[in-house]
């Protein structure tokens, strides 16, 4: 495959992707999807092939435009939620969800938990509202080897309250029976699921001199 010819699985675009915030081959010029969206989409297709979403209920936190249409047509019931945004079905705090136990089959919250102070409570809440056959997909930006907790939102790191490490997804294992973690190396490289970096860094997710892999954890009740 030539570097400059990729296929966006979300919208069908083929060709070169745009540089975004200094990251090469990052953004689809047609649907604006980023590396993580294309990776997550590819993982969702693998998950849905084994776990049918037909007839099920989904709750989507901090809903990205990239996935709204997909979830709305895939699930029987689809609802959105956010702490601050107004254009969602539920304006709620992940640490205190106003939903009954076992209300949903699927929860998707990407790049959310690194903003939540009591993430253990949020993970418990997500587990509580899921039905016995439910799934939660909860990716965060893994940036270090070992997770670092900040005492307050860090303005130098997009106001995250922690820098998640490679060990972060272990927190899901205490609440869920099984966690499968997919990486950029597990999907078709044509969708360009890697994070290209043009500076030297010692990320534990480095694949080669140019790029990092990203991770998508799938948590089973």
For Zn ion, give the closer residue by CB, 41 or 61. Answer: 41
In angstroms, what is the minimal distance from the CB of 26 to Zn ion?
12
Report the residue number, 44 or 97, with the smaller CB distance to Zn ion.
44
Question: What's the closest the beta carbon of residue 6 comes to Zn ion, in angstroms?
Answer: 9
In whole angstroms, what is the distance from residue 122 CA to residue 128 CA?
10
Alpha-carbon 180 to chain mean position: 13
Tokens of 34: 């980023």
Smaller CB distance to Zn ion: residue 13 or 99? 13
Q: How far is 82 from 89, CA to CA, in rounded Å?
A: 8
Residues 171 and 184: their CA atoms lie apart, in Å, by 21
Shortest separation between residue 8's beta carbon and Zn ion, angstroms: 3
Instruction: Name which of 44 and 138 has its Cβ closer to Zn ion.
Output: 44
Contacts to Zn ion by CB under 5 A: 8, 10-11, 13, 28, 30-31, 33
Q: Which is nearer to Zn ion, 10 or 212 (CB)?
A: 10
Q: Give the nearest distance from C-beta 34 to Zn ion in angstroms.
A: 10
Separation in Å, CA 23 to CA 17, 100, 131: 10, 42, 39
Dig out the tokens for 64 from the structure. Answer: 């990205």
What is d(CA 110, CA 63) in angstroms, rounded to the nearest whole number?
Answer: 9
Q: How far is the CB of 141 from Zn ion (least distance, A)?
A: 21
| Planar angle of CA 191, 215, 64, nearest 5 degrees | 65
């Amino acid at each position: 495959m030539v570097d400059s010819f990729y296929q966006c699985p979300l919208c069908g675009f083929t060709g070169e992707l745009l540089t975004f915030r200094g990251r090469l081959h990052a953004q689809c010029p047609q649907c604006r999807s980023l590396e993580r969206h294309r990776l997550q989409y590819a993982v969702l297709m693998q998950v849905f092939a084994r776990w049918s979403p037909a007839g099920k209920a989904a709750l989507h936190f901090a809903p990205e435009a990239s996935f709204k249409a997909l979830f709305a047509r895939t699930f029987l019931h689809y609802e959105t939620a956010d702490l601050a945004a107004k254009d969602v079905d539920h304006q709620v705090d992940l640490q205190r969800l106003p939903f009954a136990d076992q209300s949903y089959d699927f929860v998707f919250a990407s790049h959310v938990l690194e903003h939540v102070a009591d993430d253990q409570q949020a993970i418990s809440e997500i587990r509580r509202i899921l039905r016995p056959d439910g799934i939660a997909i909860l990716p965060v930006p893994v940036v270090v080897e070992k997770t670092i907790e900040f005492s307050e939102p860090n303005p130098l790191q997009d106001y995250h309250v922690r820098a998640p490490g490679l060990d972060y997804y272990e927190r899901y294992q205490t609440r869920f029976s099984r966690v499968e973690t997919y990486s950029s190396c597990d999907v078709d490289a044509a969708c360009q699921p890697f994070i290209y970096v043009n500076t030297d860094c010692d990320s534990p997710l480095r694949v080669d001199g140019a790029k990092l892999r990203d991770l998508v954890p799938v948590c089973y009740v």
